[in-house]
Amino acid sequence: MIKIRGLTKTYHMGKVTVPALREVDMDIPKGQFVAIMGPSGSGKSTLMNLLGCLDRPTSGEYYLDGEDVSKKSDNELAEIRNKCIGFIFQSYNLLSRADATSNVEMPLIYRGVPPRERRAMATKALESVGLGKRIQHRPNEMSGGEQQRVAIARAIVGGPKVILADEPTGNLDSRSGEEIMVIFQELHEQGITIILVTHDPDIARHSERVISLKDGKIISDEMVQDRLDARECLAAMPEPDVSA
């Protein structure tokens, strides 16, 4: 699904050059659930932005589903992003004035899906993340976990091949984070390729494979031996204290 060779990204800040990624090679088969770890500044977000076609490498090759993405025009990249990739950020990145349905519909508008069909697809995506009762809520009328679930619905509404999530549980309490991991586990069971950045080793243990970066290079790449089941983890957590 994903093949990168010699992927390099260097940022230029006036006279200073910052090597954020250095000749990274990586192969991720279709359907794999991968966690990316590494200290702050190790290049995780830089890698995700390149994988998500939000940015271009300084050098190197990137093949997504067999296509050489490094040679595409900006318009072609925008189309690949819209059709193949679902991106989820730590800070949700929702439109604050728009309700949940409108936020989820956004990628379908760019794709020219007619309004009624769009609305039906958005409702279905919101139901699939457990937000059937929140479709008219705006972001400030929802908890962080609910907002992140809206962001996931927006990422999956167009049927992406790859989900890229940069610290999706970073702003959430452990229970809301685990609820997000249940959704990722379901998406993985549906065969979607998932790449997730996390600082949390317990979150990484929900994936099949952990790739660690340091100073823009891969320093380890291991299959997870003792995977955690998100549904079991969630069930073992204490119920939220509603009286508080």
Q: Provide the binding-site residues for ligand ATP, judged by CB under 6 A.
A: 11, 13, 18, 20, 38, 40-46
Q: Which of 133, 125, 173, 176 is nearest to 151 (CA)?
A: 125
Residue among 157 and 163 whose Cβ is closer to ligand ATP: 163
13 binds, among ligand ATP, Mg ion, none (CB under 5 to 8 A by kind): ligand ATP
Query: Which of residues 32, 45, 101, 128 is near Mg ion by CB under 5 A?
Result: 45
Residue among 44 and 118 whose Cβ is closer to Mg ion: 44
Question: Strand 33-37's sheet: what is its strand order?
Answer: 85-88, 162-166, 193-197, 33-37, 209-214, 217-223
40 binds, among Mg ion, ligand ATP, none (CB under 5 to 8 A by kind): ligand ATP
Residue among 11 and 110 whose Cβ is closer to ligand ATP: 11
41 binds, among Mg ion, ligand ATP, none (CB under 5 to 8 A by kind): ligand ATP
Between CA 138 and CA 100 the distance in angstroms is 6
Rounded to a whole number of angstroms, the CA Rg of the chain reads 18
Piece in contact with Mg ion (CB under 5 A), picked from 15-23, 40-48, 153-161, 213-221: 40-48
Q: Is 241 helix (H, G, I), strand (E, B) or coil?
A: coil
Residue among 17 and 136 whose Cβ is closer to ligand ATP: 17
Bridge partner residues of 90 (DSSP): none
Between CA 138 and CA 101 the distance in angstroms is 9
